Amino acid sequence: MSQQSKQNPEPDAQGGFSCEWEPVEGRVQNPGHSSNSHAAPAGNKSIFYPFSKYTWEGVKAEEYKPEPGNFANIVRNAIVGAKGESCHFDLRYFEISEGGFSSFEKHKHEHVVICVRGQGHVRMGEKIRDLNFLDIVYISSEIPHQFINKGREPFGFFCIVDRERDQPQELDPDSIP
């Protein structure tokens, strides 16, 4: 496939686009991860969580963090990963009410955030960016970050993170490391 066709894909004979995976030059596949290395153990069952008004049946909203800290008006919903699934990631939904914010923190693990409700800000180090519906943020290792609701409507986002991860280090919100 030419470089031009990779940048500007053309529809296939059926009018759709190919979703075939192609290796990215310079990216190394994790050693020891073959197509069979992520097979679910026997007895692992699929589950469906019906959605209604930013809640999921069978998923209970819980405290953002069990210990006190510098955060306000935020709840967490552990949707996938905390109920015995064999996946290597957790999918959580966080919702920040008006005037609320997450802790300003950093950690070694990476995560992906997808905004699905309201509007907010993400603070990453010295930069502050607006977040709107379906904006995506990738936060790399050791980057100080915080999520802030900037409106009256709840600000909600999915967070995908490794199942096994280090504990966040809470930072002084007035500092910029």
Radius of gyration of the chain (CA): 19
Query: Which of 105, 76, 99, 114 is CA-nearest to residue 148?
Result: 99
- Residue 96, classified by CB atoms within 10 Å of its CB into exposed (0-12), middle (13-18) or buried (19+), is buried
Give the range of the structural domain holding residue 118, as residue numbers without chain letter.
Answer: 43-165
**Is residue 49 a part of any domain in this protein?**
yes
The residues that are catalytic are 159
**Is residue 50 a part of any domain in this protein?**
yes
Per-residue pLDDT for 177 more than 80?
A: no
CATH number at residue 93: 2.60.120.10
Query: How many CB atoms neighbour CB 106 within 10 A?
Result: 16
**Is residue 89 a part of any domain in this protein?**
yes
Query: What does the DSSP 8-state code read for residue 64?
Result: S
pLDDT (tens digit per residue) in 34-61: 444 455 565 678 888 999 999 999 999 9
**Is residue 148 a part of any domain in this protein?**
yes
What is the domain count for the chain?
1
Distance from C-alpha of 112 to C-alpha of 137, rounded to nearest angstrom: 6
pLDDT value at residue 27 = 41
**Is residue 150 a part of any domain in this protein?**
yes
Per-residue pLDDT for 13 more than 50?
A: no
Distance from C-alpha of 129 to C-alpha of 115, rounded to nearest angstrom: 12
**Is residue 7 a part of any domain in this protein?**
no
pLDDT (tens digit per residue) in 71-114: 999 999 999 998 888 899 999 999 999 999 999 999 999 999 99
**Is residue 100 a part of any domain in this protein?**
yes
Per-residue pLDDT for 156 more than 50?
A: yes
**Is residue 91 a part of any domain in this protein?**
yes
